[in-house]
Amino acid sequence: MKHLTAFDASDYLDNEELIAEYLNAALEEPDPAVFLAAVRDVAKARGMSQLAKASGLGRESLYKTLAHGAKPRYDTVLRLMRALGVEFQAVPVKKPTEDDAAGAISR
């Protein structure tokens, strides 16, 4: 019988570019819990104690902030992002044009 281990994204989040891509992919999901889970994975990859210290949060507070079902404050999320070495950016959403709609129909 083969033994399978559960997939853990934190095992693969070993550089800033990959972390940023991972968090951006999570931000594309409409459910905010997906983003919080991604931040939790990144925190685990970086080390919870290190992130707690870098963000100015207590370790216990960090675990509570990143717990399933938590609804952290915006300023707390910003502190975590800065401590993780990533930032949020606003970019305009591309609105579909008539040409885009016509192209979708012809495909």
Q: What is the CATH number of the domain that holds 34?
A: 1.10.260
- pTM, full prediction: 0.79
Please report whether residue 16 resides in a domain: yes
Please report whether residue 27 resides in a domain: yes
4-13, 21-30, 51-60, 95-104: the lowest-pLDDT one: 95-104
Please report whether residue 1 resides in a domain: no
Share of the chain above pLDDT 70, in %: 91
Please report whether residue 99 resides in a domain: no
Residues 54-81 as b/e (b if ≥16 CB within 10 A, e otherwise) read bbebeeeebeebbeeeeebeeebbebbb
Share of the chain above pLDDT 90, in %: 62
pLDDT on residue 103? 58
Please report whether residue 24 resides in a domain: yes
Range of the domain at 67: 9-87
How many domains, in total, are found in the chain?
1
Q: How far apart are CA 92 and CA 28, in angstroms?
A: 14
